[in-house]
Amino acid sequence: MAKEILQKHDQSFSSRTILEAITVFDHHKVSMVWLPVSPQWRNLRQFTNSHISTSQRLDSIKSQKLDDLFTYICQSASSSSVVDIGHVAFTTVLNLLSNSFFSIDLADYYSYSTFEIALKEVVLQAAKPNLSDYIPIISFMDVQGIKRNMRNYARIMDGTFGKIIEQKLELAREGKSTNSADLLDIILDACHENVIELHRRDINSLLKKDQPNGVDIHFQK
């Protein structure tokens, strides 16, 4: 039975159940995480495997982020300040990812950024047991307010990504080079050269796909 399922009917069992919270802004229709196996999913998977899911890009900035972490720990020790291990770990990993994606830091050791708060809340809202997932007929009511909260926080994340993308596009229109060669540059170049067809919401979904990875560390403290 298992052999029959895995070899002949694997596609029927490969898709994920779509959570009601994930349907905000039709994220499930463009995200590689939630798309069923299809040509669109295969194209996204091939692109991410070739350009995004590579350890070399993270390794190139890992040393710098570890230096930032070491500096913060030393400063905290000198001032006898309490160190929030969860926040520090989260900030380090998120900045490692954001520098790989955008060549900027999206989190700060000394405070909680709006993006950081929104990212944590998106993960929390998606993880909450939702009545709408068990009783779809009442999903339009959003009894627990999960979808409403998810929409608010996802809008903050999309707004942040939108500003960064616009800055990149503006530099490109002016013929200026960022010399960063980060993942967003690669995505935009691939779209410009028709290597892959992606719309703005597709790009946002690609960017959001890996951001929650840093959050897991925060919740494991």
**Mean pLDDT in order along the chain per 10 residues (221 residues):** 58 72 80 74 73 63 90 93 90 87 88 89 90 93 94 90 85 69 76 64 66 47 44
* Predicted local confidence at residue 26, as pLDDT: 78
Total domains in the fold of the chain: 2
The confidence score (pLDDT) of residue 179 equals 60
Residues 167 and 67 in one domain: no
- 119 plus 189 within the same structural domain: yes
* 1, part of any domain: no
* Dihedral sign computed on CA atoms, order 132, 134, 135, 136: positive
Same domain, 28 and 92: no
pLDDT at position 103, please? 85
Q: How far apart are CA 1 and CA 74, in angstroms?
A: 58
Cα–Cα dist 163/143, whole Å: 33
Query: Do 96 and 192 fall into the same domain?
Result: no
Question: Do 137 and 39 fall into the same domain?
Answer: yes
The pLDDT value given to residue 77: 93
Q: How far is CA 70 from CA 81, 98, 130, 200, 214, in A?
A: 14, 19, 40, 37, 18
Integer Cα distance of 207 and 157 in angstroms: 10
pLDDT of residue 68: 93
Establish if 10 belongs to a structural domain: no
Of 68, 78, 157, the C-alpha closest to 108 is 68
State the pLDDT at residue 217: 42
Shared domain check, 183 and 160: yes
